[in-house]
Amino acid sequence: MRKQLAGYYQPTPEEFVDLWENGLIILDTNVLLQVYRVSKTTRDELLDTLRRYSGRIWIPHQVGLEYQKNRINVIDEQKQGYSDLITGLENNENAISKKFSKYKHHSFIDTKKMEEQIKTIFLTIKNDLQNLENAHPDYSLDDPFRDEITKLFDGKTGEKYSEIQLQEIYNEGKKRYELKTPPGYKDDEKSKNNDNAQFGDLIVWYQIIDKAKSSKKRIHSIKGKHLYPETGIL
């Protein structure tokens, strides 16, 4: 049974050793997009790790496509974070001011003094955020991280499925998602303008299976907490 349903069993210690020493490392889209979301230290560690294992990394075509499509959105989200935080500070400052006004005649609380202290703190934080925003690099024009990722995955990116293959997956995906069969059924709301975006994980799943068959190697798929038990792929 273990041989036929290997995906439902934890690998043996020997299999874990083989996985880490010889297995193919496949990254999900969000791992690549993390380079724009994390601190410099974490980003450097991630890229250094990819360089160290450059001979064993690979991504499905769908992962590369999703990275290219979503890169600018993630970059914009990071840039919008400053104004979002500043707006939040201003809203909270107003709410706090109203709360202090309620007790402006309190016998022992110097609400005016405390309000001035809070305003000073909030102003300092807002100025810091504005300075950081002004210094934020524009990766939409000059993106050294995409250059690095492009170099790392040169010759290590899968081929695109044909339109016939994709349509077959879309048709199958509709049935699987109706039955809530993983992977990907929770992405059903991702579709916009009938672009079949909700089937991205399913396409990645099949492309990983194809790579596992052709390479005849164990696969370590880095995708957060998600597993692929039906294939025996971690």
| 7-60 pLDDT per residue, tens | 788 888 888 888 888 889 999 999 999 999 999 999 999 999 999 999 999 999
Residue 189: band (very low, low, confident or very high) from pLDDT cuts 50, 70, 90: low
pLDDT, tens digit, for every residue of 69-108? 999 999 999 999 999 999 999 999 889 988 988 998 888 9
How many other β-carbons are positioned within 10 Å of the β-carbon of residue 211? 19
Q: Model confidence over 195-206: pLDDT tens digits?
A: 788 899 999 999
| C-alpha to C-alpha distance for 176 and 184, rounded to whole angstroms | 9
How far apart CA 22 and CA 16 sit, in angstroms, is 10
Span 201-221, pLDDT tens digits: 999 999 999 999 998 887 877
Look at residue 190 in the predicted model and tell me its pLDDT: 67
**One-letter amino acid identity for 78?**
Q
Task: Let me know: does 184 contact 200? Beta carbons within 8 Å.
Answer: yes
Comparing 230 with 180, the larger pLDDT belongs to 180
pLDDT greater than 60 at residue 225? no
Where residue 231 falls among pLDDT bands split at 50, 70, 90?
A: very low
What does the pLDDT read at residue 230? 39
pTM: 0.82
Coil/strand/helix, residue 212: helix
Residues sharing a CB contact under 8 Å with residue 202, sequence separation 6 or more, in sequence order: 169, 172, 173, 176, 183, 184
Of the pLDDT bands very low, low, confident and very high (cuts 50, 70, 90), residue 187 is: low
Q: Do 169 and 206 form a contact (C-beta atoms < 8 A)?
A: yes
User: What is the pLDDT, as a whole number, of residue 192?
Assistant: 58
What's the whole-number mean pLDDT along residues 122-141?
94
For 142-150, the CB contacts below 8 A with 24+ separation are 143/71, 143/75, 145/35, 145/36, 145/43, 145/47, 146/71, 148/47, 149/32, 149/35, 149/67
Q: What's the pLDDT at 224?
A: 46
